[in-house]
Amino acid sequence: MNKISILKNFDKKNYFSYPFPFFYIDKAYDEKTYEYLKKDYTLFHKYFKKNSKYELNNIRLQISTEEFYNSRLFNNSIWKDFVQFHTSKTFFLQLIDIFSEDMKKIYPKILDIVDKNKSNEDFLNIRNKRNIKEFQFVADCQPGINTPSLYKSSVRQSHLDNSAELFAGLFYLRDDLDASTGGNMQVMEMKKNKKAVFHQKSLVRNHSDLNIFKEIKYEKNKVIFFMNTINSIHSVSPRSATSVPRNLTNIIFETYDIKNRLFSEYKKRQNLLSKIRNLIGI
């Protein structure tokens, strides 16, 4: 199953700790494997076209891992192996290893919990209402699309993800016929001496106080992963009008059992560092 890992071509040169831990991979798979994945992605198009929301402008449609397993449509697809592996403990521990140095600084308690409990039966499972209560970590692999853009628009402006989320990843499968511009992942940073002001679902209100630190283009066979912190503000650049869906698979790992130890733990550490800096005049 490791053969299907999206991390096979990970390169440390594309790993960043600032403004929050993230990395990208320009070409995740060899051409043969990617062509299999792309070919079978038409099954998801078939699945989503049955949804009345498919006709709406530039919105996200996706299928959860639980829904995926409950559908016979994907039984003989390479995506069955893809989803199974990328919600597994093996893959989760691969991500832990990549992010470990930053986790020591930001989420040391999480590292300790992983080390002590990774062999336990209640360590990790796929995400659903039952499992978020019974397992320490839950995973979801969500193949999906952004529906065609009737006019230039952004599917999601600068925001933070759910605070239960530890890792998030995106796998792009851009259609060869897609001539649109935009739809890129934007890693955002706050301007010096500025703080984010949020509204609604963790959307940033004060956009003018943000800079684009790095923009990662929406391209075929590209992968982006980041660790979720209170600084992990990201956005999707506006996409021009197109009749072609934007193909992307979302991979996430969350913790509800220890949810309050994520952002709250990081805030405490940041506040302590600020006090120390003030005391020594930095």
Domains and CATH numbers, the chain: 2-280 (2.60.120)
> What percentage of the chain has pLDDT greater than the value 90?
80
Tell me how far apart the alpha carbons of residues 220 and 173 are, in angstroms, rounded to a whole number.
4
Name which residue leads in pLDDT, 282 or 36: 36
Mean pLDDT of 88-106: 97
Tell me how far apart the alpha carbons of residues 261 and 54 are, in angstroms, rounded to a whole number.
38
Q: Please check the confidence at residue 133 and state whether its pLDDT lies above 50.
A: yes
DSSP string for residues in 101-155: HHHHHH-HHHHHHHHHHTTSTTSEEE-STTHHHH-SEEEEEEEEEEPPBSSSB-S
Question: b/e string for 102-131 if b means 16 or more Cβ within 10 A?
Answer: bbeebbeebeebbeeeeeeeebbbbbbeeb
Question: Do the Cβ atoms of 203 and 158 come closer than 8 Å?
Answer: yes
Looking at residue 276, its pLDDT comes to 46
pLDDT band at 172 (very low <50, low <70, confident <90, very high): very high
DSSP string for residues in 159-208: B---TTEEEEEEEE---TT-------EEEEEEPTT----EETTTEES-GG
Which residues lie below 8 Å from residue 72, measured CB to CB, with a gap of 6+?
A: none
Looking at residue 273, its pLDDT comes to 46
Q: Please check the confidence at residue 196 and state whether its pLDDT lies above 90.
A: no
Mean pLDDT of 220-244: 95
| Encoded tokens for 67 | 């829904």
Which residues lie below 8 Å from residue 149, measured CB to CB, with a gap of 6+?
A: 57, 58, 180, 239, 240, 241, 242
| Encoded tokens for 4 | 């299907």
Tell me how far apart the alpha carbons of residues 272 and 268 are, in angstroms, rounded to a whole number.
6
Point out the least confidently predicted range of 36-45, 210-219, 257-266.
257-266
Q: Please check the confidence at residue 277 and state whether its pLDDT lies above 60.
A: no
**Confidence (pTM):** 0.91
